[in-house]
Structure 1
Amino acid sequence: MVTEAPDKQDEILIITLLFSGIACVAVALRCYVRTRLLKAFGVDDAIAVVSLFLLCAGVIFTILGVNSGFGQHNDTMTMEQYLRGLKWWCYSEIIYPPTIAIIKISIALYLVRIAVKPVHIYAIYISMAIFLLYTAAFFAFLLLQCRPISFYWRRFGGAIDGHCLHPSTIAGMAYGHGVVNVMADLTLGIIPAFIVADLQITTRTKVAVAMTLALGSIICTLTRIAYINDLLHTDDYLYSIADVIILSIVEAAVGLIASCLATLKPLIRSFLDWSEKSIGSSGGLHTRMVGGMNRRRTRMYDTELNLRPDLAIVGFTTTVISSNGRESPPLHSSISQTMDVKGDLWLSPSSHESQKSHRRLESGNGDEAAVPACQIK
């Protein structure tokens, strides 16, 4: 007979650290490509770095929550531990909306940078404006759901010196946020297919770019549908939120990873060139390899940067003065740089209250404490 696992703490830690670690590597590689290889670190890259810091903050809250009861059953912890778990969950759900929003902004800015047709740019702007406005409102509701904020978890220990919004209010806001989130996901997932259709690249590359840019958005939609209903019907709260915590971290991490993958092609080409250079150790072979490497590097930069034919292409010329004072023919740079003129434009537990409680969850007056109302993110 299959029995329920005693806890999910190890599962939370392993998956959280794995995906957040991959996200850190992806952002680091993106920064290397944009600062060292292309020397074109943009606003979308800076926002990706900010979103990584928010993701790491969420991971820290999760680790602290695991030490305080995340993934454990109610009847295995004391009231003090239970309240600490609720505190870290409160912080985790508050930081979730801005994390997802900033990741989406990073993806949207990248799409705007490579988009050609105004209709695509306007579609991205409009969908993101709607999403960001509602996300800001939802974030404000989460911050103000209890006054003071510590009353969010202290009320279940018998505190009466505060006030909280009705759980149904937060639940309604959460469903609304889910709707606009899905709309933004669909927009960021569909627009790339239209953008790459206009690029002067091969069909295989178009498909790869579209799938890469849409990956994060698709995952965001699927994970939200998977857990939003389950949290409405739980009476073992800190154990039940384990899946929500995992999916929230995975959603943010995968979205961030997907936004970085589209920028890493120059790094892959550079690595291949380095491998060929290492293999070609003889003089003649080495010369031919370096010549081919330079030609491929030219194509590499053109592929990454020349996605906006309407933007200016700036080159530079080097003039060599010989020893007799005469000028040699100019040497034109093989690498052109794209001026991205548009890069700076974008600068409580379930609403269902459980009737069940365990022997250790009692309020200060001796009555059984209600299981907190879940606020779906």
Structure 2
Amino acid sequence: MSSQFQNWTSNPEETHGSLMAISLWAMGGVSLLFLVIRCYIRQKQKKFWYDDGVLVVSWFLLLVQIILNQLNINLGFGKHALDINFANFERITYYGASGLTVSIFAIILSKISFGLTLLRLTEGWLKAWVWFAIATLFIFAVPVAIIPWVLCKPITKTFVDILPGECVDKHPSVIYGRFQAGSYAKLPISLHPEHPADME
């Protein structure tokens, strides 16, 4: 604990809060632009479907996460730890854990939207594999969304280890997080058919 605290520094002039805020809102705005264009075209062609609706919900969850991150930045997130008002640590932690949970489901829904699109284009074993991938991605995501809330008591200790409290062994959750992140990357890629004939 003491060694972690000794690594903390103070430099009130240095903060990444503004850069974080600009990056968050810029990426959110760019993604919204692409989403609006997609929905406009689909609506114009009268092809707006469940996959589009799920993607819209996913973007609104992204917006919630951006807002939660902005609230954290307003409380000092982005500064050196010693320069953050200690009274704000608990709120920063709750906003951070909430943002993590919301972002997990935003990511999952965006991938489920892609899966729903593929369900209209596939048949047979490939369609069954798409259903399997959708279900697996969702099931694997639930523990990751819950872990930040149950890892330590109080929850603030999950993110600030020097605080008093109790934690379960964090190593299994780290391993599972890596496994789940790998499934995010590999399962969607595996949905792409190797040959055009696979989609006929």
Normalised-by-shorter TM-score class: 0.7 to 0.9
Query: Which of the numbers 59, 75, 99 marks the counterpart of 1:92?
Result: 99
Shift of residue 114, structure 1, vs aligned partner:
2.5
Q: Tell me, yes or no, if the aligned pair for 1:94 and 1:143 is still in contact at 8 Å.
A: no
What residue number does 1:12 align with? Answer: 20
What residue number does 1:70 align with? Answer: 77
Shift of residue 13, structure 1, vs aligned partner:
1.0
Q: Tell me, yes or no, if the aligned pair for 1:69 and 1:77 is still in contact at 8 Å.
A: yes
**Equivalent residue letter for 1:7:** T
Residue 179, structure 1, aligned to residue 182, structure 2: yes
Aligned to 1:71, the other structure's residue is in SS state coil
Q: CA offsets per residue over residues 81-132 of structure 1, 9 Å max, x none?
A: 33332222111112122111101000111122233x4233233222232222
What residue number does 2:4 align with? Answer: none
Q: Distance in 2 between matches of 1:23 and 1:158?
A: 38
What residue number does 1:128 align with? Answer: 134
Q: Distance in 2 between matches of 1:140 and 1:77?
A: 26
Shift of residue 32, structure 1, vs aligned partner:
1.9
What residue number does 1:224 align with? Answer: none
Q: CA offsets per residue over residues 305-346 of structure 1, 9 Å max, x none?
A: xxx87xxxxxxxxxxxxxxxxxxxxxxxxxxxxxxxxxxxxx
**Equivalent residue letter for 1:69:** G
- Evaluate the alpha carbon distance shift between residue 78 and residue 137 of structure 1 in structure 2; reply closer, same or farther with a 3 A threshold: closer
- Dislocated runs of 4+, deviation >4 Å: 154-160
Q: CA offsets per residue over residues 35-72 of structure 1, 9 Å max, x none?
A: 2x112221101101110110001010110111122221
Q: What is the aligned length?
A: 187
What residue number does 2:50 align with? Answer: 43
Q: Tell me, yes or no, if the aligned pair for 1:111 and 1:192 is still in contact at 8 Å.
A: no
What residue number does 1:28 align with? Answer: 36
What residue number does 2:8 align with? Answer: none
- Evaluate the alpha carbon distance shift between residue 74 and residue 140 of structure 1 in structure 2; reply closer, same or farther with a 3 A threshold: closer
Please show how residues 215-226 of structure 1 align to structure 2 within 5 Å.
none
Q: CA offsets per residue over residues 276-304 of structure 1, 9 Å max, x none?
A: xxxxxxxxxxxxxxxxxxxxxxxxxxxxx
**Equivalent residue letter for 1:11:** L
- Evaluate the alpha carbon distance shift between residue 192 and residue 29 of structure 1 in structure 2; reply closer, same or farther with a 3 A threshold: farther
Q: Distance in 1 between matches of 2:50 and 2:56?
A: 10
Please show how residues 250-329 of structure 1 align to structure 2 within 5 Å.
none
Q: Distance in 2 between matches of 1:123 and 1:26?
A: 28
Q: Distance in 2 between matches of 1:142 and 1:76?
A: 24
**Equivalent residue letter for 2:142:** A
Specify which structure has the higher proportion of helix.
2
Q: Tell me, yes or no, if the aligned pair for 2:97 and 2:149 is still in contact at 8 Å.
A: no
TM score, norm. by length of structure 2: 0.78
Shift of residue 152, structure 1, vs aligned partner:
0.7
Query: Which of the numbers 81, 103, 117 marks the counterpart of 2:88?
Result: 81
**Equivalent residue letter for 1:110:** T
- Evaluate the alpha carbon distance shift between residue 172 and residue 108 of structure 1 in structure 2; reply closer, same or farther with a 3 A threshold: same
What residue number does 2:109 align with? Answer: 102
Please list every run of 5 or more consecutive structure 1 residues that lacks an aligned counterpart in the other structure. 200-307, 310-377
**Equivalent residue letter for 1:183:** K
Q: Tell me, yes or no, if the aligned pair for 1:127 and 1:183 is still in contact at 8 Å.
A: no
What residue number does 1:139 align with? Answer: 145
Q: Tell me, yes or no, if the aligned pair for 1:152 and 1:164 is still in contact at 8 Å.
A: no
Q: Distance in 2 between matches of 1:192 and 1:21?
A: 32
Please show how residues 152-231 of structure 1 align to structure 2 within 5 Å.
152-153=155-156, 164-188=167-191, 191=192, 194=195, 197-198=196-197
Q: Distance in 2 between matches of 1:158 and 1:15?
A: 30
Shift of residue 192, structure 1, vs aligned partner:
5.3
Q: Distance in 1 between matches of 2:180 and 2:50?
A: 26
Aligned to 2:155, the other structure's residue is in SS state helix
- Evaluate the alpha carbon distance shift between residue 192 and residue 11 of structure 1 in structure 2; reply closer, same or farther with a 3 A threshold: farther
Shift of residue 158, structure 1, vs aligned partner:
6.3
Please list every run of 5 or more consecutive structure 2 residues that lacks an aligned counterpart in the other structure. 1-10
Shift of residue 154, structure 1, vs aligned partner:
7.2
